């Protein structure tokens, strides 16, 4: 590398890569008849079975209003059903409908194919190293910092959907 070559900050590369990955994933989900929001809802519920809005929002790293919008949409499409929690009638639990399970399996297949595409030419060892490195970066972001703005301290900078 020449002394005149400029190396951009890693955060810039990471942000632009994340943006490209997200946009392409949104296109894949739309092409499969879904959306990123629908995928997040169906994926989280399929992992947990019955979940509350609060647990779903936490799992998806979004706020309650955002997850409510996506759940409302999924419910209108017949993909999820709200039920009163028998242990706490104030809580609504969510579960996949049979159509929601079918859609989840379809979107999951598309998500796996997309993942295979973006990892083309990247060995399993490199993928594992990348996942470990990203986990360390997220842990570093979650650690309180005196230099971080007040709204970011310990927040872990979760992705917004």
Lowest mean pLDDT among 16-25, 86-95, 129-138, 152-161: 152-161
Element (H, E) at 53: helix 53-60
Residues 111, 125 within the same domain: no
Residues 94, 161 within the same domain: no
Residues 160, 95 within the same domain: no
pLDDT of residue 127: 96
For residue 75, pLDDT beyond 80: yes
For residue 3, pLDDT beyond 90: no
pLDDT of residue 94: 86
Sign of CA dihedral 136, 21, 71, 33: negative
Residues 125, 107 within the same domain: no
For residue 153, pLDDT beyond 50: no
Residue 139 structural domain: 119-161
Tens of pLDDT, residues 32-55:
999 999 999 999 888 777 677 777
Residue range 1-16: mean pLDDT, rounded: 81
Report the candidate in 49, 48, 40, 20 with the shortest Cα–Cα distance to residue 108. 40
pLDDT of residue 147: 62
CATH of residue 24's domain is 1.10.10.10
Spatial separation of the C-alpha atoms in residues 126 and 128, rounded to whole Å: 5
Q: Domain count for the chain, please give it.
A: 2
Spatial separation of the C-alpha atoms in residues 14 and 133, rounded to whole Å: 12
For residue 121, pLDDT beyond 90: yes
Q: In which band, very low, low, confident or very high, does the pLDDT at 5 lie, cut at 50, 70 and 90?
A: confident
Say which residue, 46 or 29, is predicted with more confidence: 29
Residues 148, 108 within the same domain: no
Spatial separation of the C-alpha atoms in residues 93 and 84, rounded to whole Å: 6
Spatial separation of the C-alpha atoms in residues 59 and 67, rounded to whole Å: 10
How much is the pTM?
0.77
Residues 72, 150 within the same domain: no
Spatial separation of the C-alpha atoms in residues 103 and 80, rounded to whole Å: 11
Residues 59, 88 within the same domain: yes
Say which residue, 66 or 124, is predicted with more confidence: 124
Report the candidate in 85, 58, 80 with the shortest Cα–Cα distance to residue 70. 80
């Amino acid at each position: 590398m020449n002394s005149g070559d400029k190396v951009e900050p890693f955060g810039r590369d990471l942000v632009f890569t994340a943006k490209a990955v997200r946009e392409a994933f949104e296109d894949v989900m739309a092409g499969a008849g879904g959306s990123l929001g629908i995928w997040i809802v169906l994926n989280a519920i399929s992992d947990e079975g019955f979940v509350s809005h609060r647990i779903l929002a936490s799992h998806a790293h979004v706020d309650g209003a955002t997850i409510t919008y996506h759940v409302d949409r999924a419910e209108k499409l017949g993909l999820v059903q709200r039920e009163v929690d028998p242990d706490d009638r104030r809580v609504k639990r969510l579960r996949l409908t049979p159509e929601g399970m079918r859609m989840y399996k379809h979107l999951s297949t598309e998500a796996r194919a997309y993942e295979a595409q973006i990892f083309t030419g990247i060995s399993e060892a490199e993928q594992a190293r990348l996942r470990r490195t990203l986990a360390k970066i997220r842990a570093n972001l979650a650690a309180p910092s005196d230099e971080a703005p007040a709204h970011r301290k310990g927040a872990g900078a979760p992705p917004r959907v």
